[in-house]
Structure 1
Amino acid sequence: MGSPHHEGSATSATEPLPAGKNPKKPEKEPRLDAGNKHHGHYARRLPLWRHSMRNVLLPVVRWETPYLALMQEKLRTPKLDTYFAVTANLGTHTFYMIFLPILYWCGYTNIGRATVHMLAAGIFFTGFVKDMLCLPRPLSPPLARITMSGSAALEYGFPSSHSSNAVSVAIYALYKFHSAREEYNPNVFMALQALCYWFALSIVFGRLYCGMHGFLDVIIGSIFGGAIAIVQLIYEQSFDKWLFGESPLPPLIITLVILVLVRIHPEPADDCPCFDDTVSFVSVVIGINIGAWHYALTGLAIDDPIPSTNPFRLETVGLPRATLRVLLGVVVIFLWRATMKPTLFTILPPIFRLLEQARLNLPRAFFLNASNYTKIPTLRGDDNVIPSASELPNMLKNLAHPRKRSVSVGPQSAADAYETLAYRNRRRRESINSLDGAVPEEGAAWSPMEKKPSVRNLRSASKKRESPLGVNLLPTQAASRVHSYEQMMGTGNIDNVEMTPPDSESEFTVQTPAEAESEKREIFMQLMKPRVRYDVEVVTKLIIYSGIGYVAVCANPILFEFIGLGTGIRTLDPFERLQK
């Protein structure tokens, strides 16, 4: 949608604001020292086992960079930029949240339920791993980031949620088509299969083309998606049989399990919105299961193909009324969200202050405690799943010129900046130390107590002209781009000055510590700033998105019947159904 520093909705400090700190009295901004801060940042904030796993996988992320850059450089065209920028929206939370309710309202309840469960599982597990390992996206530059989602730049990269979503939906659809193959014309069957493969491949390869993910990200994300689809196909019938009984216990158990999963979601080392997206989507699971259980008891639902199915028939309803159903349903969802959000932002803070005084609150990092604010200002761009109605015109406008508004170059999040600076500093030291036969292991943590190399050794490293990534067979163009980037953003303290090997054997570029510090601060000032987030937002999302699920599955179908937009079909009344 534009350069990263033009996006975002609220102002926050360069460093994430810890819970409990008053934004009116910001702490002094810490020194951005690539030699100490950026390697120690994750060591300090992550438990040892998480930091060790991160150190094992981080070299892969860095190793992939030049190959991804070369691929992007060879393939990029304006048309492909537009294509992959647009098709990436097919894998976003917003697309699914707008599209899925329509399945319910048009009689495809079984597909809608299965898709919500798979997507929620994909968002939860990929988000869980993202926040657990805190692995950055591939470096930019040399890669250009092509995305129409402003929030994506703030998320970690491993694994890919888009890939998980696309693969799970594609595998599920392929299985269903094969199960009912005799019902389709052979040409139609082949076209539907091709559509599934196109959908999955476009999303997965598009993440590589757009510079948003590396090979490892999309491979692991796709494995997640495949496993989730298999579990859904194996257990969907038994799960529905268990849910749609006489007892309200199953939806209650589902709700409690999801609340526990939300509570155990790991704390990230940077201000990452993965947790927000997870809360939103798993809350929908609460809503659709409570709503489905309730709707099955109303006497308006049918049991074919599954209980709680909305009895929609286009020949009975008619196209005009079917269109009105969809439009009205979407309006009701937006009205629910627009009404409940300010209401909860008014009601919840005093309750949270009381809980905080009683030490019963459960604070999360990067969320401001209620005792440190008196009023929540109007938030813009605070929802990555369903945007507010006021944001829809701008989103549609961006779709008209996707390439113009979607390409950006440079670090976009704190994780990007930390890893860019730490990576460059470490590779320089490894290159210099290798001349003395002491090359650290790729996954080992750098220590600020390492021997400081001499200027003579630095000049020798420059003459040797090693690849910045330490790989001898790197593509020349990609390595050159990474090397140019390292010249542009030199870091690392060497005998109190900072020297960056140039492209030739000419004089070195020397930076004083003050100049290096100024450059680092400039990098961080250009990042998309995470907005201040408030503790009540977690419960607010839980209520709003549970309500959205309930409204889509139960309240809207009842409303359609009440105002004459339904089918007029009534099965058993609730008491007859329970007796049966």
Structure 2
Amino acid sequence: MVKGANGTPDAGLRSLNHYRNQLPSWRYWPRQQLLPLIRYETPYLAWCQEKVRTPALDSFFAFTANLGTHTFFMVFLPILFWCGHTNLGRAMVDILATGVFVSGFIKDLLCLPRPLSPPLQRITMSGSAALEYGFPSTHSTNAVSVAVYGLALLNAPDSTLNPQLNIALQGITYFYVASIVLGRLYCGMHGFFDCIIGCALGTLLALVQYTFDAEIHEFADSANALQVAFFVVIVLICVRIHPEPADDCPCFDDSVAFAAVLLGTQVGYWHVALRSAEGDYRGHLPNGLADMGILKTTLRLVFGVLLLFAWRGMSKPFLLRVLPPVFRGLEKVGLILPRRFFTNASQYTKVPAHLKDKEVLPSFSDIPSIITTLRHPRRRAISVGPQSEADAYETLAYREKRRRESLSGNRTSPGVDVSPGPPTEGSAQKLSRKQSKLHEYENMMGTGSPRIATGVDAGSGSGEPSLTEPFPLLEPEEPDEEEMFAQIKRPRVRYDVEVITKLVVYSGIAWIVVEGAPILFDLVGLMP
């Protein structure tokens, strides 16, 4: 490895040694063992994408991907609570919050990239997902955990549903989970390995929840104040030990939000049980649509959603305004533990009033764009080339690996962060694949072609690479390192106070769903 006079890696090799420098050996080693698998499957993913891709499927899978997002579940879960399906809602909160946290933990722990683009084209309605690491697929984890738990309930011996309705719901569940998981592959957002491990993680969480449902609910309802405090401390410790990523990845933000949801729901369950023991039954929700009627149930949902938006709209700006001076004082006495990619309070005067960021629960200002997306499901973005720092580093590393293989007969320098590429069985096999599409896709890996076509409406065909040939092969282009990083949309500045703000805001949202909103329903006459 070439080094400068001060002992740091030469500028031309910094990107290739990025993960070696940023990660401890116990995280770097497993990353390097898994990276060749992700590289190996990329040409096959591109081949599959080309074989089946059509404009209609582009629109379908880009749209259904929204049904596996954190935002969808944050909107969907309160409906279960407020329509009388409290036990189902509680179980879904547990498995989804745990799944988001654990998958985000693993992503930031191993820092594995998504399959390279090119040769893949990425199809999405939201560009924020591409900023995260790829392994494992959180969409797959979410969808499979919900599906497995739901199927377990539908097939339970004590299920009282009409047989025809039961079969219909099972069919919908299978279609839902297949759409999400296959869509991650089709859209070029994940590889087979990402989705398989995501599915396995979702299955495990769902089976644990289903097996120990009664015990989990009993603990939540019968816990005393000390046990609740202990649970809060454990969750906060988990947030604190969440791995520092090598790149500016937003996985941590989602993990914090859903850890806060676990805190808020647990406090809500405990306090509702405490009030019940004291004879106070205000705010309980034993009745659903069949008992309350569609009008009262609809009013519940309207009032509840307005309450959530009001809490978020008031609490977030308030906390971002009052917390910075507190953090500066704590920083002076050494009580702040800094986190990478978050600016310490001593380095800024105030937090901007309107932070442009992906939020798990959208704000009022986001509603028009969400409605537009739902009204125009054929609108999606198609991009080619690196979209995140992790993409760029992987593109450069693969390019260097290929160059060294060409120069030294597949031998790499021990000082450079380049993992072995796809396994080969000799030059004869390479020659036999020379004219194949797989070989063409392998040649495209590491080229780092610029991104193309954003905000495409497939109905008009404007700006799309080709509607008659939905996967045109691209001419390899190799922008240099500076040009490649210039193409990437940099994440906005994040502030240290945002971590505590998310914990307070989202734990408050969860408490409102469990206890606060039902009390409001009782006050306005929306209870039996």
TM-score interval (norm. to shorter) = 0.7 to 0.9
> Is 2:513 aligned against 1:539?
no
> Is 2:55 aligned against 1:95?
no
Aligned to 2:139: 162
Alignment of 1:189-268 (within 5 A): 189-245=166-222, 247-268=224-245
Which segment is superposed worse, 398-407 or 74-83? 398-407
Aligned to 2:486: 525
- Find the aligned partners of 2:278 and 2:92 in 1 and give their Cα distance: 20
Aligned to 1:381: 356
The counterpart of 2:411, out of the listed 439, 444, 464, is 439
- Find the aligned partners of 2:519 and 2:276 in 1 and give their Cα distance: 10
Count residues with an aligned counterpart. Answer: 489
Change (3 A) 1:162 1:32: farther
Query: Is the CA contact (8 Å cut-off) linking 2:385 and 2:448 kept in structure 1?
Result: no
- Find the aligned partners of 1:309 and 1:277 in 2 and give their Cα distance: 29
> Is 2:528 aligned against 1:560?
no
Q: Post-superposition shift, 1:112?
A: 0.7
The counterpart of 1:371, out of the listed 346, 358, 361, is 346
Aligned to 2:151: 174
Change (3 A) 1:150 1:314: same
- Find the aligned partners of 2:229 and 2:417 in 1 and give their Cα distance: 52
> Is 2:318 aligned against 1:338?
no
Give, as a single letter, the amino acid of the residue that structure 1 aligns with 2:46: A
Q: Post-superposition shift, 1:485?
A: 5.9
Change (3 A) 1:301 1:80: farther
Superposed CA RMSD in Å reads: 3.0
Q: Post-superposition shift, 1:388?
A: 1.5
Query: Is the CA contact (8 Å cut-off) linking 1:251 and 1:286 kept in structure 2?
Result: no
Aligned to 1:413: 388
**Which one has a bigger Cα radius of gyration?**
1
Query: Is the CA contact (8 Å cut-off) linking 1:301 and 1:311 kept in structure 2?
Result: no
Aligned to 2:439: 479
Secondary structure (helix, strand or coil) at the match of 2:337 reads coil
- Find the aligned partners of 1:290 and 1:543 in 2 and give their Cα distance: 13
Give, as a single letter, the amino acid of the residue that structure 1 aligns with 2:237: V
Query: Is the CA contact (8 Å cut-off) linking 1:55 and 1:445 kept in structure 2?
Result: no
Q: Cα deviations across residues 95-130 of structure 1 (Å, max 9, x unaligned)?
A: 000110111011111111111110111111111110
Change (3 A) 1:380 1:370: closer
Q: Post-superposition shift, 1:482?
A: 4.2
Which segment is superposed worse, 396-405 or 87-96? 396-405
Secondary structure (helix, strand or coil) at the match of 1:405 reads strand
Q: Post-superposition shift, 1:241?
A: 1.5
Secondary structure (helix, strand or coil) at the match of 2:249 reads coil
Change (3 A) 1:314 1:377: same
Change (3 A) 1:488 1:310: closer
- Find the aligned partners of 2:349 and 2:447 in 1 and give their Cα distance: 47
- Find the aligned partners of 1:95 and 1:32 in 2 and give their Cα distance: 46
Query: Is the CA contact (8 Å cut-off) linking 2:18 and 2:417 kept in structure 1?
Result: no
Which segment is superposed worse, 474-483 or 81-90? 474-483
The counterpart of 1:116, out of the listed 83, 86, 93, is 93
- Find the aligned partners of 1:549 and 1:65 in 2 and give their Cα distance: 40
Aligned to 1:353: 328
Query: Is the CA contact (8 Å cut-off) linking 1:287 and 1:548 kept in structure 2?
Result: yes
- Find the aligned partners of 2:64 and 2:10 in 1 and give their Cα distance: 37
- Percent of residue pairs identical: 50
Give, as a single letter, the amino acid of the residue that structure 2 aligns with 1:549: A
Aligned to 1:283: 260
Query: Is the CA contact (8 Å cut-off) linking 2:83 and 2:287 kept in structure 1?
Result: yes
Change (3 A) 1:131 1:472: farther
Change (3 A) 1:405 1:328: same
Give, as a single letter, the amino acid of the residue that structure 1 aligns with 2:439: A
- Find the aligned partners of 1:227 and 1:204 in 2 and give their Cα distance: 16
Q: Cα deviations across residues 373-428 of structure 1 (Å, max 9, x unaligned)?
A: 00111334323311221012112213334444322111100000010011111112
Alignment of 1:452-471 (within 5 A): none
Change (3 A) 1:190 1:522: same
Aligned to 2:470: none
Secondary structure (helix, strand or coil) at the match of 1:184 reads coil
- Find the aligned partners of 1:87 and 1:302 in 2 and give their Cα distance: 45
Query: Is the CA contact (8 Å cut-off) linking 1:277 and 1:385 kept in structure 2?
Result: yes
- Find the aligned partners of 1:317 and 1:235 in 2 and give their Cα distance: 31
Q: Cα deviations across residues 544-580 of structure 1 (Å, max 9, x unaligned)?
A: 000000001100001000011112xxxxxxxxxxxxx
Which segment is superposed worse, 260-269 or 424-433? 424-433
Query: Is the CA contact (8 Å cut-off) linking 2:398 and 2:445 kept in structure 1?
Result: no
Query: Is the CA contact (8 Å cut-off) linking 2:384 and 2:449 kept in structure 1?
Result: no
Secondary structure (helix, strand or coil) at the match of 1:406 reads strand
- Find the aligned partners of 2:297 and 2:179 in 1 and give their Cα distance: 31
Which segment is superposed worse, 44-53 or 470-479? 470-479
- Find the aligned partners of 2:53 and 2:182 in 1 and give their Cα distance: 13
Q: Cα deviations across residues 432-451 of structure 1 (Å, max 9, x unaligned)?
A: 311xxx534xxx965389xx
Aligned to 2:125: 148
- Find the aligned partners of 2:279 and 2:190 in 1 and give their Cα distance: 43
Change (3 A) 1:181 1:423: same
Change (3 A) 1:300 1:397: farther
Alignment of 1:28-177 (within 5 A): 36-177=13-154
- Find the aligned partners of 1:471 and 1:177 in 2 and give their Cα distance: 53
- Find the aligned partners of 2:184 and 2:401 in 1 and give their Cα distance: 27
- Find the aligned partners of 2:407 and 2:217 in 1 and give their Cα distance: 62
Aligned to 1:398: 373
Change (3 A) 1:295 1:421: same
Unaligned 5+ runs, structure 2: 1-7, 419-425, 451-474
Give, as a single letter, the amino acid of the residue that structure 2 aligns with 1:543: V
**TM-score normalized by the length of structure 1:** 0.79
Q: Post-superposition shift, 1:472?
A: 6.0
Q: Cα deviations across residues 452-498 of structure 1 (Å, max 9, x unaligned)?
A: xxxxxxxxxxxx9999xx796588224324424656769xxxxxxxx
- Find the aligned partners of 1:445 and 1:563 in 2 and give their Cα distance: 71
Unaligned 5+ runs, structure 1: 1-29, 450-463, 491-508, 568-580
The counterpart of 1:325, out of the listed 288, 296, 300, is 300
- Find the aligned partners of 2:359 and 2:431 in 1 and give their Cα distance: 38
Q: Cα deviations across residues 501-548 of structure 1 (Å, max 9, x unaligned)?
A: xxxxxxxx9x9xxxx8x7322221111211100000000000000000
> Is 2:265 aligned against 1:293?
no
Query: Is the CA contact (8 Å cut-off) linking 1:287 and 1:549 kept in structure 2?
Result: yes
Q: Post-superposition shift, 1:77?
A: 0.8
Query: Is the CA contact (8 Å cut-off) linking 1:292 and 1:308 kept in structure 2?
Result: no
Aligned to 1:572: none
